[in-house]
Every structure is written in structure tokens, then in C-alpha cells.
Amino acid sequence: MDDLNKPFLITKSLYPENQETPIKFLPHHLIPTNYHFKRNHFNYPKILTQNFLLPISGEVVKSVTFYFNQIINFPATTFTGLLECAGNNRSKFDPKTFGEQWEEGAISQGRWRGVSLSKLLSQTGLTTDAKEVLFEGYDFGKREDSDNYVPFARSLPLKIALHPDTIIAYEYNDKLLSIKHGFPLRLIVPGWYGMASVKWLKKITVINYPFTGPFQAIDYVYYPKDIEPFPVTTTNVNSIIQYPLNYSILDAGNHTIEGIAWSGEGDITTVEISFDGLHWSNAVLLKNTTEPYTWTKWKYQWNALEGEYTIFCRATDSKGRRQPMNAFWNKKGYGYNATPKAHVKIT
Ligand SMILES: Nc1nc2c(c(=O)[nH]1)N[C@H]1C(S)=C(S)[C@@H](COP(=O)(O)O)O[C@H]1N2
Ligand SMILES: [Mo]
């Protein structure tokens, strides 16, 4: 990967633009902006001077409209964090589910910088009726299920909205956000699937009822086969094998199997490798204890003898969540996290 000026994202759709990161080929801890996956429901909004104002109103003591200049002058919060689309790997569900047929590249990671939403809310105050915080983006359009124009809008429970690492971000990897990733201001909710991180923030409203917009109550809901629907929130424990690639032919001898593992809740505690899906051995974790929202790199030394193999990998997090052999099927195809596999031939 020498020439990072020639991006080759994997195109899923152009209008709206949905493109995957070539995640298996990127060794980076910080994925450059032009390699960050793109996930949009509508065409890009026009960026005008009004985009540099952020009004907060509703169940607040005092409504305030913040200027971009004010926002960047507050003490900043900076962290490296990953963003994974809830539809990542949807193409692997069996039976198939509707929606963008993502492979494993709807995930990226970089350094986000912004102001804690809780700092802005401490300027407005909250009424005792405040229950959720609603975020609306500047992008809008028609969905297939309605003739009305709707914006991309989602809410967060108050507790998540007030977490100090829930930020109104204005920088990615030390540069202002790019237009396609939400310039000038976007929400970043570390630990949650990407849909929570609303781009191109237009306004924030504190509400006293559960928000039921279509991107909250129709989409981003797990509809399992036998149990009641429930909302998509935090990122599941998950991993990928970056080397060797699926269907590769390798020489016998020493190989380092490697990849990344992540979880939206707690840390990665183990990554295990198996060649039969029954017997597992621990991989070595290259742990990064100062960056709780990042993926963990792992490695496994393999002395490979001639033959054909299926390599399995599974991660476990500190909340005791472990990747299942088969994904949790749900009608809209969210949260796929079955153990990844790589089939290889050793000659
Ligand atoms: N305004 C707005 N925000 C949005 C979306 C969108 O379509 N419009 N897509 C969401 C989804 S589903 C994901 S996965 C992330 C993707 O962020 P990215 O395009 O910067 O990778 O943005 C989220 N925020
Ligand atoms: Mo997403």
C-alpha cells in the first residue's frame, strides 16, 4: 500500500454514495479520510453558511444557537475510534436480507476531535422532562416506504447523549471533516453502530418522548425470527482475518495469521484461531489499553503443512460476548458478527 493518493474504495452505490474500505489491505491504525467507508441514505447536502450554526432547543432551560467558531473554541475532546455500519457483512446472511449488500469493509477508524455534547448542554440546561436528544442532518429525501421528504434524523437516550465521549466532531485525523463525512459538524457516538453518528448536523432538540422517525423506528431495529424487535445500538464483538486472504495459495512453512477484533462494549479479551471450528488456540493480542474505542490487532504463528485448510477466528470481549459460529439472523440484516473464515491451500 504505497500510494494512498489513489483511493480504491469498493463501490456499492453512487447515488446515494455507499463505498467500502478495502479493510483487509490497510494495515493503518488511522484509516486516511479517502479510504474511510461512506454510508449515505440520501444525496449530499449543499454546504452553505447556515451549516455553520447549530441550534439546541426543546426541553432546555435556554435555547442557544452555537456558532462554528464557538464550538471549535471550547476545550476539545479527542479520541481514536472505529465506526462500523450496522449493515457491515450483510451480504453473508443466509437467508439473504434486503439492504445494501456490504462485505466486510463498512468499517474504518480514525482520530475524532470535537466538543462534548454534554458541554453544550450544560450551557442550555435541561428541563426535568428531558428524555432523549434528537439530531437532524441537513440531508433529506424520499424513502421507498413513503411519499414524504424526510431528513436523516435519530435520537439518543439522555444517558448516552451526556456521556463525555459523545462529541460534536469537527476534525478527522487532525483535519476538518471532509464534506462526505459530515462537514462541518457531525455527531460521534463511540461504541455504537455508525447510524448513531449523524452527519451534517442541522439542529439538536431535547425531547420528552421516544422519537419514532423512520431511521429510528423502522430501520435500525433488529427484527429476529422468534423474539420481539429491539433497537440496534452498540457494536457487536467482531473480527476479521486480514492475512491470509480467502482462497490464497501459500508455500508450506511459517505464516503469521493476522487481523483485527473489536467490540462496542468493553475490551477484546481473547481472539482464538481454529482449523476445524471445534478446537481453538489463543492468538496474541497487540493490546492498546489507552484507546478504548479502537480495534485490537492480533497475530497467530502458524507452521503450515501441505493441505487445504479453513481458518476460523473468534473474538470475546470483557462483557463476555463471543462471536457465534452462525450470525444472529434478523430481517433487515444488522449486526452480522459470525466467526470469519479463510480457506487456504498450502503447497
Ligand atoms: N446525516 C446523515 N448522517 C448519517 C448517515 C446519513 O445517511 N445521513 N448515515 C449513517 C450511517 S448508517 C453510517 S454507518 C455512518 C457512516 O459514516 P461515514 O459515511 O462517515 O462513514 O453515518 C451515519 N450518519
Ligand atoms: Mo450504517
Question: Which of ligand 1's atoms lies nearest the C-alpha of 182?
Answer: 20
Q: Give percent of the chain with pLDDT exceeding 90.
A: 97
Q: Specify the higher pLDDT residue, 236 or 287.
A: 236
Nearest CA to ligand 1 atom 2: 199
pLDDT at 8: 86
Q: Collapsing DSSP states into helix, strand and coil, what is residue 72?
A: helix
Given pLDDT bands bounded at 50, 70 and 90, which one contains residue 3? low
Nearest bound ligand to CA 19?
Answer: 1
| Cis, peptide link before residue 95, omega less than 30° from 0 | yes
pLDDT at 1: 45
Number of Cβ within 10 Å of residue 33's Cβ equals 16
Distance 53 CA to ligand 1 centre (A): 20
Distance 38 CA to ligand 2 centre (A): 9
Per the DSSP assignment, residues forming a β-bridge with 287 are none
Cell of 179: 464534506
- How much is the mean pLDDT over the chain? 96
Distance 230 CA to ligand 2 centre (A): 17
- Phi, psi (deg, nearest 5) at residue 65: -105, 115
Mean pLDDT for the stretch of residues 296-308: 98
pLDDT at 7 over 80: no
Question: Which of ligand 1's atoms lies nearest the C-alpha of 108?
Answer: 21
For domain 238-346, which CATH number applies: 2.60.40.650, 2.30.130.10, 3.30.70.870, 3.40.50.300?
Answer: 2.60.40.650
Nearest CA to ligand 1 atom 16: 39
> Per residue in 99-140, pLDDT tens?
999 999 999 999 999 999 999 999 999 999 999 999 999 999
Ligand 1: residues whose CB is within 6 Å?
A: 36-41, 83, 85, 137, 139, 152, 181, 194-195, 197-200
Question: Which of ligand 1's atoms lies nearest the C-alpha of 41?
Answer: 7
pLDDT at 64 over 70: yes
Number of Cβ within 10 Å of residue 293's Cβ equals 18
Per-residue exposure over 98-111, b if at least 16 CB sit within 10 Å of its own CB, e if not:
ebbbbebbbbbbbb
Q: Give percent of the chain with pLDDT exceeding 70.
A: 98
pLDDT at 4 over 60: no
Nearest CA to ligand 1 atom 20: 181
Which secondary-structure segment (H or E) carries 20? strand 18-20
Nearest bound ligand to CA 198?
Answer: 1
Angle, CA 345 vertex, CA 241 and CA 251 arms, to 5° = 95
Mean pLDDT for the stretch of residues 193-206: 98
Nearest bound ligand to CA 31?
Answer: 1
Residues whose beta carbons lie less than 5 angstroms from ion ligand 2: 39, 85, 194-195
CATH 1.10.645.10 matches 3-231: no
Domain range list for the chain? 3-231, 238-346
pLDDT at 225 over 90: yes
Given pLDDT bands bounded at 50, 70 and 90, which one contains residue 289? confident
pLDDT at 6 over 90: no
Number of Cβ within 10 Å of residue 273's Cβ equals 21
Distance 216 CA to ligand 1 centre (A): 13
Nearest bound ligand to CA 143?
Answer: 1
Distance 327 CA to ligand 1 centre (A): 24
Per the DSSP assignment, residues forming a β-bridge with 322 are 316
Q: Is residue 51 within 8 Å of 115, Cβ to Cβ?
A: no
Distance 200 CA to ligand 1 centre (A): 9
Cell of 197: 453518528
Q: Is residue 293 within 8 Å of 80, Cβ to Cβ?
A: yes
Question: Which of ligand 1's atoms lies nearest the C-alpha of 42?
Answer: 7
Candidate from 39, 107, 156, 233 with most ligand 1 atoms within 8 A of CB, to mutate? 39
Distance 291 CA to ligand 2 centre (A): 23
Q: Between the CA atoms of 5, 109, 137 and 56, what dihedral angle is there, to the nearest 10 degrees?
A: -130
Cell of 126: 435541561
**DSSP conformational letter for 89:** T
